[in-house]
Structure 1
Amino acid sequence: MQLVVLACLAAVAVAAPQNFARYYNRPDYRHIAILRDEREDRGDGNFRYEFETENGIHVNAVGTPGSKGQSNIQGFFRFPLDNGPIAEVSYVADEYGYRPQSPLIPTPHPLPAHAIEQIRVAEEQRRRGIIFK
């Protein structure tokens, strides 16, 4: 058993530097400085954090205890897109789920007028008790 553990440790020791070197020796890799990193945890379920990097990433979140045991979190994150502009997503996460908002999130096309009219007629027929089979 000791031999197996020793062999596993030796395998990890030999493999780790290769993976580390492969990642950090890439031509496109560069260290990104953290400009700001602020964290606060009050220990009662209330927290906040914010950090910002030199390449334009900015994250902010505030959390409070939720009514059903969850954490309610409200925040945003920003990051630069490859073509230049900054993407921003604001969000709320609570007992109703994760709800992001951003102009970058695709939305469905609006329904055409005739479809809206068909839905209205169907709702009116349901109210009158008309059922189609």
Structure 2
Amino acid sequence: MKFFIVAACIVACVFAANPESEAQVVSSNYQQAPEGSYQFAYETNNGISGQAQAVVKAVGKEVALEVSGSNSYTDPEGQVISLTYVANENGYQPQGAHLPTPPPPQPIPDYILKAIAYTAAHPYTEKKE
């Protein structure tokens, strides 16, 4: 029982110290069309905002939903984090300066290129006995 009381006190302190728990919605808009497309936007008084649009489109013989939108907020260090995205038949494609990027491709070493050329010039043939 003591553990439960201590845990409840800790949870209460965390929520009391969290300024995000006091955020108020400044604006909110949502519209949906009968065919399934929609759009929404929201903003809070602490700088969090987001918006998205979705359209129904034909992909071959199938029907798919393509969603594009953006979100932004201020991180604890005061930097504004912005994210834009598209989600469609090619998957979720986020973009933002804060997202990690892969390293640039490295050139293929010469010994690998020579091995590939040799293998192409001398294909494997199975010996018949």
| TM-score greater than 0.5 by the shorter chain | yes
1:13-36, Cα deviation, whole Å (9 max, x unpaired): xxxxx8xx9489633354211111
Q: Quick check: 1:79 aligned with 2:79?
A: no
Which has more helix, going by share of residues? 1
Partners of 1:58 and 1:118 in 2: CA distance: 53
Gaps of 5+ in 2: 1-7, 125-129
Seq. identity, %: 20
- For the residue of structure 1 that corresponds to 2:117, the secondary structure is helix
1:21-76, Cα deviation, whole Å (9 max, x unpaired): 94896333542111110111012121100001111111010000133333110111
Residues 81-120 of structure 1 aligned to structure 2 (within 5 Å): 81-113=75-107, 115=108
Gaps of 5+ in 1: 1-17
Partners of 1:117 and 1:56 in 2: CA distance: 53
Which has more strand, going by share of residues? 2
Q: Quick check: 1:28 aligned with 2:36?
A: no
Partners of 2:13 and 2:32 in 1: CA distance: 33
Task: Indicate the residue corresponding to 1:58 in structure 2.
Answer: 49
Partners of 1:71 and 1:23 in 2: CA distance: 42
Task: Indicate the residue corresponding to 1:12 in structure 2.
Answer: none
- Superposition CA RMSD, Å: 3.2
Count, aligned residues = 111
TM-score, normalised via structure 2 length: 0.68
